[in-house]
Structures are given as C-alpha cells and as structure tokens.
Amino acid sequence: MNEIRIAFFDTKPYDINSFNQENSEFGFDIQYFEDKLNNKTVSLAKGFDAVCVFVNDDLNKTVIKKLTEYGIRIIALRCAGYNNVDFKAAFNNIHVVRVPDYSPYAVAEHSITLMLALNRKIHKAYYRTRDNNFNINGLLGFDMYRKTAGIIGTGKIGQILIKILKGFQMEVLACDPLINEELSKELGFKYVELDYLLSNSDIISLNCPLNSSTHHLINKDSISKLKPGVMLINTGRGSLLDTKALIDGLKSKKIGAAGLDVYEEESEYFFEDFSSEIVPDDTLTRLLTFPNVILTSHQAFFTREALHNIAEVTLLNIKHFFNSTSYENEICYQCKRPCRKTRDEDCFK
C-alpha cells in the first residue's frame, strides 16, 4: 500500500487533519497541494498514482488528458456532486470515484438552518442585540406550520429534508424524475409537476444534481411562476439557479428570501478569505447587498461526522480500486449515473 502516491488538490487545514488521521490506517503516500486542479496546475500530478479532488477542481478534457498521460489511474472525488468532471473525456481513460453519502444529514440540516434563519431574520437580530438594539421592527417571520415546502430532488438529502419539514407539520410537494410512491406514502409528501411545485410552494429547496437538464432550472421563466414572496434555498449547485434572474426576482420582490450555500461562479471565491480585498464579481457582491439573502460558502457538508466519513470512504475507494476486483462508488459515463458494477463486468474496460 505504501507505494501508492496520491496528490490531493485544493486542500485546507481541516482536510489535512482529517485525512492524516484516517490515513494512519491506510498508509498511503499523500501530498497535499493548496492549488485547485486545473489546466495550470495539472503538472503537479506527475509521478502520482491517483489524484484526490474537491468540488471546485476543474476536471475538464485537457486536465483529464494530461492526467492520463501522467499514468494517473483514478480520480477520487472527496464529495458527492460530480458536475466538475468531463466524463466523456474520462471514459476509457481514467476511473472516477466519489463519496455518495458522507452525510446527507449535514446538508439537509444546513438547508433547514438557512430557512429558519431567513424566516426569523436571525442574521439581523444577532447584530441588533450585540449593538444593544432590542427593537424587533422588521424581524417579522411566518409560522412554518401548515405552509408548503417544495423539494426539487428526493434523493438522500431531499428525503431527510422532507422528514425534518414534516416535523414542522408542513405540507410537502416534491418533484423528481424518479417517482417513489412508497416513499411518498411513508413520508407523507406528494409528487407533482415542477410548474405546480413552483406556483404552490412557500419555500422551495433545490436538492437535485447539476447536469444539462437541471442547469438554470430556476430561471426568468420559472421565477415568473413562483408564489409571490417565496423563499428559495439552494444547497445543491450554483448553476441550478440563474443568478441574474434570481437578483431580478429579489428586486421585484417576487422572491421574498434566498438562502444560498452555492453560487454559479463560486470556484474563485468560496473557501478563500477575501476580507481584505476587492471582490471583482459584481453579481456576487450585488447578492450580498440584499437583507433577505444569506450566503454561506459551500459549508453545508461541513460537519465533523461528514469530514470523517469523507476521509474514510475516499481512502477506501482508492484502496479498493488498487487492491480488489470489486469496488463501489464509481461514476460511469456509459451508465450516465453512478455505477456500482464490479471491475470485471464494468462498462469501463
């Protein structure tokens, strides 16, 4: 196992801590790079057997071609989403694995955090009381009890979110191309068409993956169908929302509040400290001027439990890839979805 060398990209101190702890059981030779993996930095991967990347590393066609030339056999995503990988380029060249469900609870709970904070204006109340301002004007919220939540995507995160929202005794509408009637009966929600969900929900949460069919799922046209004053929550991926259309929706008050953990152009800014700099992205800075927007920088996953699971499953994925004939968590271009086939019967020969 010692001889397997892994280049980690876009690493922060918390990644290094959790992976070093976990690696004491695996014994991989790990080198951590702060840089994100992209066209400019790909040469850092020379001499390694595997690369480990995160949400804002750019696994485009050129990067994948270079990685293949360097003899890298596996890209290990230490995240669930995989929209940053060109699978067509990877197919037949390099294997791609991910961590499908390190903690759907972390993300669902963060979605709830954004909802509650926006509804009861906790972000404003916090600053008021710290300034000895005990006035509550402008902090009016609404009972979530018996309001309607619309959940777009009833996968692992969406299901947990629904369970929590049912605890508030909310009505829950959902849409997903994969209808699971048993689940809807068990959890007490209704599958509906997207347009119905858009025009009947008081709170909408995006919990589907980003792909060509969900890119800008929420756009000018879909915003026109929303119930006035709706709250939008996006912990999925930034490009599920057309940010310019969102800003117009906020300005016209069609959208009453937005809780965003992801942003279309986040890769340059999120996870970094720009507090002493001028941020050149006018869309991002405009978003931050709204009193009814809370933006968190892709931290929904960030719990102790999730970090532990991410490190464990990522290293297991790599170990199984190099050591066994069967392994899980591969994402396959041919299947167009996560693939759990054994290596012998893999779509990827």
Annotated catalytic residues are 237, 266, 298
Instruction: Count other Cβ atoms within 10 Å, centred on residue 130.
Output: 8
Q: Which amino acid is at 233?
A: I
* Number of alpha carbons in the 13 Å side-chain half-sphere of residue 280: 1
The single residue among 154, 239, 243, 329 that binds ligand NAI, judged by CB under 6 A, is 154
Out of 213, 275, 289, 325, name the contact with ligand NAI by CB under 6 A. Answer: 213
Would you say 206 or 257 has its CB closer to ligand NAI? Answer: 206
Neighbours of 252 (CB within 10 A): 11
* Residue 80 is a binding residue for ligand NAI (CB under 6 A): yes
Contact between 158 and ligand NAI by CB under 6 A: the answer reads: yes
Which residue type does 322 have?
F
Q: Are 55 and 82 in contact (CB under 8 A)?
A: no
Query: Which range, of 31-39, 117-125, 233-241, 283-291, touches ligand NAI by CB under 6 A?
Result: 233-241
Give the 3-state secondary structure of residue 190: strand
Q: 3-state DSSP call for residue 247?
A: helix
Residue 268: C-alpha distances to residues 57, 115, 323 (Å): 10, 26, 36
Site for ligand NAI in 188-207 (CB under 6 A): 207
- Exactly one of 45, 114, 115, 152 binds ligand NAI (CB under 6 A); that residue is 152
Of 104 and 256, nearer to ligand NAI (C-beta) is 104
Per CB under 6 A, 208 contacts ligand NAI: yes
Rounded Cα gap, residues 340 and 285, in angstroms: 42
Residues 315-334: x where in contact with ligand NAI by CB under 6 A, - otherwise, as a string: --------------------
Interface with ligand NAI (CB under 6 A): 80-81, 101, 104, 107, 152-158, 175-178, 207-210, 213-214, 235-237, 261-262, 298, 300-301
